[in-house]
Copies of this chain bind each other. A is one copy, B any other.
């Protein structure tokens, strides 16, 4: 193959196998030169929009917007949808950051915390009165905890007066959300979509739009280029407020089309199958164990394991590297004692099994 390494890192990660040929096609079509105000660009946006709706089950009442990273969407959501009070389920570094951004913006942000690697107690959650936005991370990239979709819908059922925002950065295109319960969802493309970094996707419904309009009406600053009303006016025409990553949107349109050809259900089944193999191996690996104890909450797309013997995590990564595979080390303070292995659609069963074989070979050595 001539590749130096294969990337089972939790994002950026392996590119979807069709990306390179789409990039060649992009050059033939002058995608790097066309105006973002042209009919050609609008067609690309429309194609991405249609493919994402079909792939992820996004209904017409929700609008698909493009930003540049998912982290930025934390701020956009908070400015547009919260005047005073937000609630945040925090069980890892990224959900913590969402909460911190709310504090930085001067909001009365409440945190419902779980230990790192533990699930958040979402099932019976009753938000404090006047909570305008509840934020939940479907899949914590740092700790590998995944909240089942039906539990997320339950949050909304228990708190119908609050908007619900779901961070699905590192699980898309795996989950099937009930968009009747999800007011906003967002992700970035360099993880499960197998694309180069530099593009975030923000999905909002009319309730978010109405909230933003009300706040703006009352004098709240909802952002400039990220004012939701302005973004929606542009999106209606398949346009963006600022000059977007045109090439990134083109690749997203094409790759989501390729994924549709394969089938969302096939991708989902393959992901579960590979995750099953992965956790089986991690459970039986001497010196290591899956970080998330309860199987229900184990991420299907980012498998995190921690060492029970000193040096075991580093040995795992070294063994993978020997097999030509880059995986992720632990997040932040767990850098040396945990490993993170991504299981995205672009990681073929063959590649994933090769990685698992490499880990097992180590344990037998």
Contacts and interface: CB of A to CB of B under 8 A. Distances in A.
Identical copies of this chain, number = 2
Nearest to A189: B243
A87 to B, nearest CB: 18
A242 to B, nearest CB: 4
Nearest to A78: B224
A247 B225 CA distance: 24
A105 interface: yes
Nearest to A26: B196
Interface in A1-55: 2-5, 7, 9, 12-15, 19-20, 23, 27-36
B104 A221 contact: yes
B20 A35 contact: no
Taking residues whose C-beta sits less than 8 angstroms from the other chain, chain A's interface range is: 35 or more
A147 to B, nearest CB: 22
Contact of A246 (B20, B105, B197): B197
Given A198-B246, A198-B247, A244-B198, A225 B72 contact: yes
Given A68-B245, A72-B225, A27 B34 contact: no
Contacts of A12: 32-36, 243, 246
Contacts of A34: 7, 12
A106 B35 CA distance: 32
Interface string A176-197: 0000000000001010000111
A101 interface: yes
B7 A241 contact: no
A74 interface: yes
| Majority-rule SS of A interface residues | loop
B104 A243 contact: no
Nearest to A101: B224
Contacts of A4: 29-30
Contacts of A83: none
Interface string A214-252: 000000010111010000000000000111111110000
A95 to B, nearest CB: 15
Contacts of A70: 243
A243 B15 CA distance: 16
A348 interface: no
Contacts of A271: none
A33 B20 contact: no
A71 interface: yes
Interface in A78-101: 78, 100-101
A115 to B, nearest CB: 24
B197 A104 contact: no
16 contacts: A2-B28, A12-B34, A12-B243, A13-B33, A20-B27, A32-B190, A69-B225, A70-B243, A71-B241, A71-B242, A74-B225, A75-B223, A101-B225, A104-B227, A188-B243, A196-B247
